[in-house]
Amino acid sequence: MNILGLIPARGGSKRIPHKNIISLAGRPLLAYTCEAALGSRGLSRVVLSTDTEQIAAVGRAYGIEVPFMRPDELAQDDTPSIAVAQHVVQWLAENDGWQADVLVLLQPTSPLRRADHIDAALDVLAETGVDTVVSVLEVPHHFSPYKVMQVQGGNLADFWQDPLPFDRYRRQDVPKLYGRNGPAVLVTRVPVLFEHNGFYGERVAPYVMNDEDSVDIDTPFDLRVTEWLLKSRQAAEHQPAALPQKKDNNRMKVLFAGLGSIGQRHVRNLRAVMGDDVDILAFRRRGASPVLNPDMTVRPGAVLEEEYNIRSFSDLDAALAEKPDAVFITNPNTLHMPVALAAAKAGAHLFIEKPISHTMEGMDQLRYLVERQNLTVFVAYQFRFHPGLQLIKRLIDEGRLGRIVHAHIVNGEYLPDWHPYEDYRETHPARKELGGGSLRIQTHEFDYALWLFGLPRRVYAVGGHLSHLDVNVEDSVSALLHCEYDGRPLPVHLHLDYVQRPPQRVCEVIGDAGKLYYDYYANTVEFHEHATRKKEVHHFDHFDRNQMFISEIEHFVACMRGEATSLIDLDEGIRSMQIALAADESLQTGQSVDIVEVGT
């Protein structure tokens, strides 16, 4: 049976302008319905019907299909919802050849409706065989027609005039009445839409919800109440689940998905941090990676399982059946999301190599699982642990640069030099089908630009496959990020490439009171102060690059134990992905691309 989830979101709301994407507890209102829909086990497909590109962009960012823009004639103030539903069902049948059997109407104004509510209403439809199921809540006794009054000639009079066969003032004797709560969930069989020209068939069953989950946002007051409810829930329920305190017989179990160069580095560092207090498992579908030394040379004849004392599995389900406390996702980008979803369903904390994935597909479901299971997520942008960038962050936050007017960031390195032990043409940075390309591999710069300057409003990028390298991805890109800092526009220029030899990794930040220059390979940060005309040079000659990786693992373990909060959680990782994906879209279209905030 094809069950269609339909989210109708018109742009022309009057009482609350831009209501469907207005910020609610730090996220667009529409986001809550998107996540509930994608978290449902019963929906076969979820479609957003809207007439504005801005709402469509939010829907797409949350993984919802927007296969068409709603025609203007179906986006008027007096357009009935049934016409919108009929249009969507007919469009999918005629253009996709996909025929819906059941339609579930999910209005964005019910943000506290969850995936389990949707599934429960679908269960009622299946168990009862009715035409329609609608969500309702019990009418409060003081709003019952037996209790409410009207003004007649300046005096209060009973609204209900008929004689009552019971004591109308006894609450327990007033009959239970129910009203639609939006409705938050409306399930109907598709033939009803056309045979009755409406959502309700001859047989309608209720799905009763409680008061709190039945919030329907229609006024600014509703919005404020719902924000308070959401923040209260987040404070009470969404604390990361801490691991139990370690005892001698209570070891931590960690699963690695992928044991290439970065996976092996994390294995070595995890052993260094935890010693013998960790059992390491590995999911290795191909098992082709050689054992690597820290200097990226191959150790001939060595066996990974013996070298690192790990147990390997060729089947992910079998590996997760071992109930690991955490999963390190260190395989190619295109394989991140399936492993992350499976691990989150299994209740494992997630350490995800950057970026989270190569697209936003599955991101909603992952966020839903992470929140439901109270999981820690850390996205491995280790440069936030580099003392040079930490110094830059501190100097900017202290106002030492004055008003910031420009930033210039470069990361260029010759791709064949990255892993000298293997053919660069076969590595995932070089292959589109594995999530390669400068914009999805050299993403540290997107992350620390986000950390320093915030999420840009729009991105414009130029570049492509410009060199003679034998790759099928972009190998040189320059992107201009339109950020806002202290309420003023801030241009941030990023350049990424696979071709520079010797490599270059620098960051320059210019303000009206000073200038900073960070050189990763020189291990220095220079600060030029305008007023004194002095230059401070900070050297990090004795800083070991591997310390960044050790620090992030120490931080992740502390988060799992409930001793810290993830510095780069799922939503922060999504924001850096948004920048990279916007740059990619700009590269393909030649247009600047707006970014809509989707994190919490």
Ordered structural domains, the chain, with CATH: 3-139+176-237 (3.90.550.10), 252-379 (3.40.50.720), 384-594 (3.30.360.10)
- For residue 37, give the DSSP letter: H
Strand segments, DSSP code E, in 203-292 are: 204-208, 252-257, 278-283
pLDDT for 296 equals 75
CA distance 432 to 510: 35
What token pair was written down for 36?
């509930």
pLDDT for 157 equals 83
What token pair was written down for 286?
């191909």
- Give the CA-trace dihedral at 296, 302, 305, 310, to 10 degrees: -60
pLDDT for 248 equals 44
pLDDT for 236 equals 58
What token pair was written down for 398?
């202290």
What token pair was written down for 21?
């994407």
Q: Please identify every residue annotated as catalytic.
A: 168
Positions in the chain whose pLDDT score sits under 70 = 162-174, 234-250, 286-288, 598-600
Distance spanning both ends of the chain, measured CA to CA: 35
Q: Pairing between strand 404-412 and 504-511? A: antiparallel
pLDDT for 243 equals 53
Confidence (pTM): 0.64
* Cis peptide upstream of residue 206 (ω within 30 degrees of 0): no
CA distance 125 to 130: 6
pLDDT for 328 equals 98
pLDDT for 37 equals 93
pLDDT for 446 equals 97
Which residue reads 């989830």 in tokens? 5
pLDDT for 552 equals 95
